[in-house]
A and B are shown apart, each in its own frame.
Chain A
Amino acid sequence: MIFGLFKPDSGKSKILVVDDSTTIQMILKRDLAGLGYEAVSALDGPQALKAAKSAKPALILLDITMPGMSGLEVLKRLKKDPETSPIPVIMCTSEQTGSDVETAFGAGAVGYLIKPYARDRLKKKIEEVCGGGEAKP
Chain B
Amino acid sequence: MKAPPFTDAEFAFLKDFVGRNSAIHLDAKAMEVIAIHLGPVIREAGSVPQLIRNLRAEADPGLCRRVIESLAVHETTFFRDVRPFSLLRSRVLPDLISRRTTARALVIWCGACSSGQEPYSIAMLIRESFPHLLGWDLRILATDLSERVLARAREGAYTQLEVNRGLPAPYLLKFFRREGTVWRLAPEVRRMVEFRPLNLMAAWPHRRPIDIVFMRNVMIYFDIETRKCLLERLDRAMAPDGYLFLGEAETALTLHASFQKTGDERVSCFQRNSREGGKA
Task: Give me the interface of A with B, judged by CB distance under 8 Å.
Answer: 2-3, 5-6, 9, 20-27, 29-30, 32-33, 36, 38-43, 47, 51, 54-55, 94-95, 115-118
Contact = CB atoms under 8 A, between A and B. Distances in A.
Greatest chain A CB density within 10 A among B168, B170, B222, B249 is at: B249
Interface stretch (B23-31, B103-111, B206-214): B23-31
A21 B30 contact: yes
The list of the 4 closest CB pairs from A to B, nearest first, reads: A23-B30, A116-B32, A33-B75, A21-B29
Contacts of B169: 5
Contacts of A20: 29
B27 A2 contact: no
Contacts of B74: 30, 33
Contacts of A33: 73-75
Contacts of A29: 73, 75
Contacts of B3: none
Contacts of A55: 248
A47 B250 CA distance: 10
Contacts, number: 97
Interface residues of B, number: 42
B170 A25 contact: no
A25 B220 contact: yes
Interface in B4-30: 24-27, 29-30
Given A3-B85, A21-B30, A32-B75, 9 more contacts: A2-B129, A20-B29, A26-B72, A27-B37, A27-B71, A27-B73, A30-B73, A42-B249, A118-B36
B258 interface: no
Contacts of A39: 75
B114 to A, nearest CB: 10
A54 B249 contact: no
A22 B250 CA distance: 12
B86 interface: yes
A26 B222 CA distance: 10
Interface string B205-243: 000000000000100111100000000000000000000
Nearest to A19: B29
A41 to B, nearest CB: 5
A21 to B, nearest CB: 4
A22 B249 contact: no
Nearest to A55: B248
Contacts of B29: 20-21, 23-24, 94
A24 B33 contact: yes
